[in-house]
Amino acid sequence: MPIECQLAVQLIEVRMREVWRMWNYSTMVVLTVLTAGVFAAILIPFKGIPLIPGITELRPANVIPVVFGLLFGPAGAWGAAFGNLIGDFFGTLGIGSFFGFAGNFLAAYLPYKLWGNRSLDSISGHLPCFVGGVLLGSLACAQVIGFGLELFQLLPFSVIGLAILVNNFITPVILGPILLRLLYPRVNRWNLLWVELMDPEDCTPGPFPRLGRILVWGSALGGYLIGWTRATGFWGGELAIGIWVMQLSLPEILAPFIFCLILGCIFL
């Protein structure tokens, strides 16, 4: 492996520390398997109610990545990614599954990173942060999956991007507080919260959390809006920043935003 790639991998491992070191904790591994199993078990029955045949379906299970991410941290993020992959084996497996893996990881990762050290015993007291975390995760998930499907010309961003955003946002916002109210007291009583299971040194935030928040919000929101307007031809197909005039393809437009999104996750 080139020295540049080795340095990049080491940087990610150091910065997103809890994401990698959680595999050293047997209980966190079990929670990953639990999350993946629950997510897949709810996903699979709804494969028969497709929103876009062969690509996505009605997904009330999308509440799981957010809730389990807040409770189990990186175990919830990995579990959401693997659970979505398992679900794809029942009708939607393809090249898009790789991007689905990454997108669903972010759908759980970003809400718990944005939530920080806030208490989970009263979601109503931090409702704007909860809704913001769900929105951020939904935007990132829609952008990553939409980028991948557009890159391989499987489905236009204008269709899949909107479907994923709506699917990932509405259900968690409605059902998330209810499910957390039911699960948090029990998870807390059983000492299964991820911040209690992992050593404090393995839960430290990144070096520039404020910059990380700026980057993830800017890249997720900006990339989605620019990508969607470019894909739909909104505003007559000409954006004020001149992207349409430069005749860039949509994947070329989205690639810098995806890079900044990854960079922001490293800094969080």
Question: Which residue bears the tokens 């031809």?
Answer: 233
Give the Cα separation of 76 and 67 in Å (integer): 8
* Residues 69-87: tens digit of each pLDDT: 999 999 999 999 999 999 9
Per-residue confidence band for 7, with pLDDT thresholds at 50, 70 and 90: very low
Identify the pLDDT of residue 60: 84
- Set out the domains of the chain in order of their start, with CATH numbers: 3-205 (1.10.1760.20)
Q: For the beta carbon of residue 196, count every other beta carbon within 10 angstroms.
A: 12
| Mean pLDDT score, 28-45 | 95
Per-residue confidence band for 207, with pLDDT thresholds at 50, 70 and 90: confident
Per-residue confidence band for 228, with pLDDT thresholds at 50, 70 and 90: confident
53-67, 155-169, 217-231: which has the minimum mean pLDDT? 53-67
Give the Cα separation of 146 and 129 in Å (integer): 25
Give the Cα separation of 193 and 172 in Å (integer): 20
Dig out the tokens for 56 from the structure: 């996505």
Identify the pLDDT of residue 5: 53
116-125, 147-156, 186-195: which has the minimum mean pLDDT? 116-125
| Mean pLDDT score, 110-118 | 93
Identify the pLDDT of residue 237: 46
Of 161, 190, 174, give the one whose Cα is nearest residue 67: 174
Q: Is the pLDDT of residue 204 over 90?
A: no
Give the Cα separation of 66 and 134 in Å (integer): 7
Instruction: Tell me the pLDDT of the chain averaged across its residues.
Output: 87
Dig out the tokens for 236 from the structure: 């007559």
Dig out the tokens for 155 from the structure: 């489905």
What is the bridge-based pairing of β-strands 50-52 and 56-57? Answer: antiparallel
Q: Yes or no: say if 118 and 129 are a contact pair by the CB < 8 Å rule.
A: yes
Per-residue confidence band for 245, with pLDDT thresholds at 50, 70 and 90: very low
Per-residue confidence band for 242, with pLDDT thresholds at 50, 70 and 90: low
